[in-house]
Structure 1
Amino acid sequence: MRHWFRSYWAEDDIWFYFEVDADGWVARQVELQGPLERPLAAASLAEWQAAQQAGTLAGYEATFGATAEIPVQEWEGHKPHDLTLQEFETVWLTARAACRARARNRSTDEE
C-alpha cells in the first residue's frame, strides 16, 4: 500500500513531498524550496526508469529531477508529516506544471 508524507530539511529550506510504496521506495517525489516554495523537482521513479532505458535520462532529470535512491527505512533525521493522496496530488500537479514550464523556457532561451 502506498502512503504520502512530507519532510522539511532546514539547511536547504526545502520541503520534500513523497509517495512511497509498501516496500519503502519512493515512487514520486516533489521538492519545494524557500518561502515561495519554488518547485525544484517533481520526479516519478517509473518515468525515471523508462528514461534511463530509453537513453533520455539527462533530459528527464534536467526537467523533473530524480527520486531518492534508498528506501525510507534507511533515512535518518527526517520527521515525516503524513499527507492524504489528495494533498500530495495537488502539490504534484502544481510542481509538474512548473517543471515543464521551466524546461520550455530553457529551450526557448537556448534557441
Structure 2
Amino acid sequence: MTAWMRCHWDEEDVWFYFELDSQGWVTRQVEFQGPERVPVASLVEWQQARDAGRLAEYDRRFGITAQSPVSEWEGHDPQPLTRQGFEEVWDRARQQLAGDR
C-alpha cells in the first residue's frame, strides 16, 4: 500500500515530502529548503538517468531519494499526508523546477 508523509529537518530548515511503497521505500521525494521554500525534487526518473549514464548530472540537478526504507530512519517525526496533499506539493515543485530550466 502506498503512503505519503512529510518530515521537517530543523537544522537545515528543510521540509521533506515522501511517497512510499508498501515496503517503506521512497518512490518519490520533494524537498523544500529555507524560508522561501525553494523546491528541490528527487524524482522517480533517477533510475532512467542511471541507466542512461547521466546519474551524476541528474543528482546535481535534483538530488537523490532516500537510500533506505523509512523503518530504518532515525531522528525523524513523520506526519502523514493524503495522496492529494502529496500530489499538490509534487506538482508545485515540478512546475517551479521546470521554470528553472
Q: TM-score surpassing 0.5?
A: yes
Q: Which of the two has greater helix per residue?
A: 1
Q: Tell me the CA shift for residue 67 of structure 1.
A: 0.4
Could you tell me how far apart the structure 1 residues matched to 2:63 and 2:35 are?
20
Does 2:25 correspond to 1:25? yes
State TM-score, norm by structure 2.
0.92
Structure 2 counterpart SS, 1:77 = coil
CA distance in 1, matches of 2:51, 2:75: 33
SS at 1:67 equivalent? coil
Task: Give the aligned partner of residue 93 of structure 2.
Answer: 95
- Aligned residue for 2:67, secondary structure, equals coil
Task: Give unpaired runs (5+ residues) of structure 1.
Answer: 105-111
Deviation at 1:63, TM superposition (A): 2.5
Aligned-pair RMSD on alpha carbons?
A: 1.2
| Number of residue equivalences | 101
Deviation, 1:61, is: 1.9
Amino-acid identity (%): 54
* CA offsets 1:32-85 (integer angstroms, 9 cap, x no match): 01222111x21234x111110111112222322210011111000100111011
Show structure 2 runs of 5+ residues with no match. Answer: none
